[in-house]
C-alpha cells in the first residue's frame, strides 16, 4: 500500500509539493477550495482579454536551484518562451518627469551617470552592490538536509555578496538611500518615492535588480494561468489527484500526529502525512486551533508587517498601444482612487509584449494600487458596489494621465479588490505575498514543522518574508524531501 499525502491548497506551493510527492511514490491528493489550481498565480478572461493577477517576473528563468524546480515541475519546458525586458520600469513623478530603471545594471549605471554625474561614487557603489547580489545561489535542499559539501561548494563563491549583506542586511531602502546620499534631486525623488517611508528591506531591492541583471528573472509568455495549469498537468500526469471545491476546515490530529483532514462538508480524509500549502495564519490558528505554535511563530503572526493588499483594475483597450516599458509607475501621492489615498502611487502594466493577453490589434492594461485591508474588511453590499463604481471612474482618470484620450478605446473594465483575493484564495487580510520583507524579517524564515506535531509540514509563501513563486515552490519540494527522510527513502526527481 502506498502511503497517502494530503496537501491543503492547490497554489504553486501545493502543486509543487504534489508533484514531488507523486514522483516519490506517494498516493497524493491536493484539496483545493477554488474551482481552479494556481491560488494567487492566476488570471481570468473577459471578452477575449486576459487579465493576469500575478506573474511579471519569475526568479530562476535561466539558472540555479529555482530553475531546476521550474524545469522539474513543468513551469519551464521546451515550448515555454521567456521574455527578458530591457526596461524594468518607468517612473513618472508629479511634474511629469520620467525616470527609467533598466534591467541591465551596466546600462542603468550609464543612464544614471548621464542624469547625475555629481553622484558618480554613489551610483557606482549601488550598481556594484547589485552586481554582487547576482552571486546569490540558493540551496536546493531543505536546511536540515544540507551536507557540509553543499555549503563548501556554494558559500565561497558568495563571499562578496556576504559583505553587501553585512553592510546593508539590516537597513530599509530609505536608510540605504540615505547612506548613498545622492545629491541629484531627480535621483532622490525617484529612489525615495519607490518604497517611501515604509520598512522595506534594502536587500530585497538590491537582489531584485541583481536577478534582472543576470537575466534570471524573466516573464514567461502566457503568464500565470498557463503556468499553474502546466504544473497541474504535470501533477496529474504523475498519477496525482486534485479535488476542487474542497475546503479544509480542520486538520485531524491524534496523539500529536496529523492523521488527515476534515472538510467543510463534514467528510474526513485520512492521511499518513498532511502538508498545508494554504494560508499560514488560517492553518495554524484555525485548522489547528492554535495548539501547535512556537513563540517565534506566534511573534511573527502578531508582529511582522504584512503586504498591503492591492486593487487591480484591468482594462481591455480596443487598439494597439506600444509599450516602451512593461510597467509605468505614477508616483503622484496626492491622488485618490475611490476611498484610497494613493500614498504609494499606482502602476500600469502594458501587456503588449505578450500576444496571448489580448486579441490582435487590441491591448490589455492592468492598473494596481495598494489599499489597506482596514478600508475593506467591513465593506459589504451596496457600499462595496458603490466603491467599485467610484474606483472605475477614478481609475479611468488616472489612466488618462498616462495615455491621454484612452477613455474612448476602453472596451472592458474589471475590478479585483482585496476582498476578491481573500474570497478566492483565503489569504490573510489580502496580503498577497504574505509577510513584508522588512529590515528585521528579510533574512528570517518560519519553520516548516510545527512544535510537537508529527507528520505535518507547512509549505508556501508564509514561510519566507517577501513570498513569491520561487520560495513557495521550493518549500513544496523541501516538504517532500523531509517526508522522504522521515520515511527513510531516497528523495528522487523523475521526468
Ligand X SMILES: Cc1cc2nc3c(=O)[nH]c(=O)nc-3n(C[C@H](O)[C@H](O)[C@H](O)COP(=O)(O)OP(=O)(O)OC[C@H]3O[C@@H](n4cnc5c(N)ncnc54)[C@H](O)[C@@H]3O)c2cc1C
Could you list the residues that contact ligand X (CB under 6 A)? 8-14, 31-34, 39-41, 53-58, 247-248, 277-279, 282, 310, 425-427, 432-433, 460-461, 467-470, 472
Which residues lie closer than 8 Å to 180 by C-beta, 6 or more apart? 122, 125, 126
Nearer to ligand X, 10 or 316 (CB): 10
- Minimum Å distance from CB 383 to ligand X? 24
Helix (H, G, I), strand (E, B) or coil at 365: strand
Nearer to ligand X, 126 or 275 (CB): 275
Phi/psi region, residue 245 (left: phi>0; alpha: psi -120 to 50; beta: rest), is: left
Sign of the Cα pseudo-torsion (103, 106, 109, 114, in order): negative
Nearer to ligand X, 40 or 363 (CB): 40
Nearer to ligand X, 282 or 479 (CB): 282
Helix (H, G, I), strand (E, B) or coil at 174: helix
- Minimum Å distance from CB 245 to ligand X? 9
- Minimum Å distance from CB 309 to ligand X? 9
- CA dist 123 → 120, 151, 333 (Å): 5, 33, 26
- Minimum Å distance from CB 353 to ligand X? 14
Which residues lie closer than 8 Å to 353 by C-beta, 6 or more apart? 83, 85, 219, 323, 326
- Minimum Å distance from CB 326 to ligand X? 11
- Minimum Å distance from CB 120 to ligand X? 32
Nearer to ligand X, 54 or 142 (CB): 54
Closest of 487, 480, 482 to residue 73, by C-alpha: 480
- Minimum Å distance from CB 320 to ligand X? 24
Q: How many CB atoms are located within 10 Å of the residue 8 CB?
A: 28
- Minimum Å distance from CB 447 to ligand X? 16
Q: How many CB atoms are located within 10 Å of the residue 232 CB?
A: 21
Measured distance CA(213)–CA(102) in Å, rounded: 9
Nearer to ligand X, 241 or 319 (CB): 241
Which residues lie closer than 8 Å to 346 by C-beta, 6 or more apart? 329, 330, 335, 337, 367, 368, 369, 398
Nearer to ligand X, 60 or 180 (CB): 60
Nearer to ligand X, 14 or 344 (CB): 14
- Minimum Å distance from CB 204 to ligand X? 12
- CA dist 454 → 20, 163, 287, 396, 476 (Å): 20, 39, 15, 53, 17
Which residues lie closer than 8 Å to 112 by C-beta, 6 or more apart? 119, 123, 127, 187
Nearer to ligand X, 13 or 450 (CB): 13
Amino acid at each position: 500500500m502506498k502511503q497517502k499525502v494530503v496537501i491543503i491548497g492547490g497554489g504553486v506551493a501545493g502543486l509543487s509539493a504534489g508533484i514531488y510527492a507523486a514522483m516519490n511514490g506517494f498516493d497524493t491528493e491536493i484539496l483545493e477550495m477554488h474551482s481552479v489550481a494556481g491560488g494567487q498565480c492566476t488570471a481570468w478572461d473577459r471578452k477575449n482579454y486576459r487579465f493576469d493577477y500575478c506573474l511579471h517576473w519569475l526568479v530562476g528563468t535561466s539558472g540555479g536551484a529555482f530553475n531546476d524546480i521550474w524545469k522539474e515541475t513543468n513551469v519551464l519546458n521546451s515550448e515555454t518562451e521567456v521574455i527578458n525586458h530591457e526596461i524594468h520600469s518607468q517612473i513618472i513623478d508629479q511634474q511629469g518627469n520620467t525616470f527609467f530603471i533598466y534591467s541591465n545594471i551596466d546600462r542603468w549605471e550609464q543612464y544614471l551617470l548621464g542624469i547625475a554625474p555629481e553622484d558618480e561614487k554613489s551610483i557606482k557603489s549601488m550598481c556594484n552592490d547589485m552586481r554582487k547580489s547576482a552571486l546569490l545561489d540558493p540551496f536546493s535542499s531543505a536546511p536540515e538536509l544540507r551536507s557540509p559539501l553543499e555549503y563548501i561548494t556554494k558559500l565561497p563563491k558568495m563571499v562578496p555578496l556576504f559583505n553587501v549583506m553585512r553592510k546593508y542586511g539590516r537597513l530599509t531602502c530609505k536608510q540605504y538611500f540615505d547612506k548613498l546620499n545622492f545629491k541629484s534631486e531627480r535621483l532622490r525623488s525617484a529612489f525615495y518615492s519607490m518604497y517611501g517611508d515604509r520598512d522595506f528591506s534594502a536587500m530585497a531591492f538590491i537582489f531584485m535588480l541583481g536577478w534582472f541583471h543576470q537575466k534570471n528573472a524573466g516573464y514567461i509568455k502566457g503568464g500565470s494561468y498557463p503556468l499553474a495549469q502546466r504544473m497541474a498537468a504535470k501533477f496529474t500526469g504523475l498519477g496525482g489527484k486534485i479535488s476542487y471545491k474542497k475546503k479544509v476546515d480542520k486538520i485531524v490530529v491524534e496523539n500529536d500526529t496529523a492523521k488527515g483532514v476534515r472538510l467543510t462538508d463534514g467528510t474526513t480524509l485520512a492521511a499518513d502525512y498532511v502538508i498545508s500549502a494554504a494560508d499560514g495564519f488560517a492553518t495554524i490558528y484555525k485548522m489547528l486551533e492554535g495548539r501547535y505554535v512556537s513563540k517565534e511563530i506566534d511573534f511573527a503572526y502578531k508582529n511582522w508587517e504584512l503586504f498591503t493588499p492591492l486593487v487591480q483594475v484591468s482594462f481591455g483597450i480596443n487598439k494597439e498601444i506600444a509599450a516602451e516599458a512593461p510597467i509605468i509607475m505614477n508616483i503622484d501621492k496626492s491622488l485618490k482612487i475611490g476611498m484610497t489615498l494613493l500614498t504609494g502611487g499606482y502602476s500600469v502594466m502594458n501587456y503588449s509584449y505578450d500576444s496571448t493577453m489580448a486579441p490582435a490589434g487590441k491591448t490589455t492594461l492592468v492598473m494596481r494600487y495598494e489599499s489597506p485591508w482596514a478600508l475593506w474588511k467591513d465593506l459589504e453590499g451596496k457600499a462595496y458596489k458603490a466603491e467599485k463604481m467610484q474606483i472605475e471612474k477614478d481609475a479611468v482618470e488616472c489612466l488618462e494621465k498616462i495615455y491621454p484620450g484612452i477613455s474612448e478605446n476602453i472596451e472592458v473594465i474589471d475590478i479585483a479588490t482585496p476582498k476578491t483575493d481573500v474570497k478566492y484564495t483565503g489569504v490573510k487580510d489580502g496580503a498577497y505575498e504574505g509577510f513584508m520583507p522588512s529590515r528585521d524579517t528579510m533574512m528570517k524564515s518560519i519553520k516548516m514543522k510545527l512544535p510537537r506535531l508529527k507528520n505535518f509540514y507547512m509549505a508556501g509563501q508564509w514561510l519566507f518574508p517577501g513570498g513569491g513563486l520561487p520560495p513557495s515552490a521550493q518549500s513544496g519540494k523541501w516538504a517532500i524531501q523531509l517526508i522522504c527522510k522521515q520515511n527513510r527513502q531516497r528523495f528522487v526527481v523523475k521526468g
